Chains A and B, each alone.
Chain A
Amino acid sequence: GDSVTQMEGPVTLSEEAFLTINCTYTATGYPSLFWYVQYPGEGLQLLLKATKADDKGSNKGFEATYRKETTSFHLEKGSVQVSDSAVYFCALRTNQAGTALIFGKGTTLSVSS
């Protein structure tokens, strides 16, 4: 079945460091891909998305490119801030009406000043 695999955390970085969180997926067809973020004590917020191959999603300095050839959607940010500390979830949704999101296990990012 369809699945998402994320790199194991936690990821601990100093402020202004470069961030990469790896995400690969298995799916039939051409899913839409998403990154959600969960700040401490809060719900899931959409960070960015990409709906077809080679699309780049971006938001708040974060970027991810939909790579069909490597079935990947890695999240990157050039310079992290303490406020980026959160859990990041990669997710996919197949191209059928109303289908659910399939999430990865989440990666905890901790940024220190």
Chain B
Amino acid sequence: EPEVTQTPSHQVTQMGQEVILRCVPISNHLYFYWYRQILGQKVEFLVSFYNNEISEKSEIFDDQFSVERPDGSNFTLKIRSTKLEDSAMYFCASTPQGDPNQPQHFGDGTRLSIL
């Protein structure tokens, strides 16, 4: 069964550094999402992406964050200048279309640790 893949599985970065988290959504999917889960807390929506542009974003997704689909397969989340509070598990998800009845398929996540 096709799946969403995320790399790396664990990223350790110094505060203030830029970090890029990578995701390969399922190949025929059109909607892409990033979520984060701070340790012990709930999963929070960051941003959704469709047709090469952001379709929705939360208040968490401030100017430090950006997303990009640099080629036909990758979907990246960049954090420009990381802060301690960015430490979290980041999940990528995708759906074949925008139908709200369709479940989102999640990757295994990237654990980001900011030192």
Contact = CB atoms under 8 A, between A and B. Distances in A.
A44 B91 contact: yes
Interface in B35-80: 35, 41-45, 48, 50, 55-56, 58
B91 A94 contact: no
Contacts of A103: 42-44
Nearest to A108: B40
Interface in B8-46: 31, 33, 35, 41-45
Which 6 pairs show the lowest CB-CB distances between chains A and B? Answer: A97-B98, A98-B98, A100-B45, A43-B108, A44-B106, A105-B42
A103 to B, nearest CB: 4
Contacts of A73: none
Nearest to B31: A98
Give the interface SS of chain A, mostly helix, strand, loop or mixed.
loop
B26 to A, nearest CB: 13
B103 A49 contact: yes
B7 interface: no
Interface residues of A, number: 27
A18 to B, nearest CB: 25
Contact of A89 (B43, B45, B55, B108): B43
Contacts of A12: none
Given A42-B108, A100-B56, A106 B50 contact: no
A101 B33 CA distance: 10
A46 B102 CA distance: 11
B85 interface: no
Nearest to B57: A100
A32 B100 CA distance: 7
B41 A105 contact: yes
Contacts of B101: 32, 49, 51
